[in-house]
Amino acid sequence: MARPQGTSPRAQRLIALLAVCAIAIATAFAFGRVFVGHGATWELMAVALISALIASALLARRLRHRTGYGPAALAVVCLALGLILFFTFTFPANRATTNWTVEPANWDSLRTEWEYSHAAAALLYLAALCLLVWSALSGQPSRDVALFISH
């Protein structure tokens, strides 16, 4: 893979990761109004999360037998567990309440499951992000970074 002269692979991976995060944040702000109780919202969120899972799996595969593989592989596990939590607890609760417009008979237990599943998934997604940053920063220090630090 071609890269500009003087750019280390680690710096390139970190820049790509930060660019993806910036795009995700910008998308969330731009479409924030769309995410209010519409069916297409869940499909869009599922596409984003599944895309993150696929991209992380491809990164882990590319780093196999190299430094940074462990954190990238753990990030894939965290993202997969977050999706499993979503489709096991959160999504059924959204469907049972018709995206929180109807109060079902088991409201209290459903709401508790929904809240805890959201909290657990958020922690898993945060862990995945931290692991991906760790993977991007791991490896041999490049000559450019060593020169920058020594000055």
| Residue 134 placed within a domain | yes
Q: Does residue 13 belong to any structural domain of this protein?
A: no
91 domain residue, yes or no: yes
In a domain, 10, yes or no: no
* Banded model confidence at residue 88, pLDDT cuts 50, 70, 90: very high
Domain contains 140 = yes
Q: Is residue 77 part of a domain?
A: yes
Q: In 10 A of CB 81, how many CB atoms? A: 16
**pLDDT tens-place string over residues 7-44:** 677 777 777 777 777 777 777 666 665 555 555 666 77
State the Cα–Cα distance between residues 12 and 14, nearest whole angstrom. 5
Interatomic CA distance for residues 16 and 10, integer angstroms: 10
Q: Per residue in 57-73, pLDDT tens?
A: 988 888 888 888 899 99
Residue 5 domain-assigned (yes or no): no
For the chain, the domain total comes to 1
Gap between the Cα atoms of 10 and 57, Å rounded? 18
Q: Is residue 35 part of a domain?
A: no
> Which residues constitute the domain of residue 76?
40-144
- The pLDDT value recorded for residue 147 is 45
Determine the pLDDT at residue 65. 85
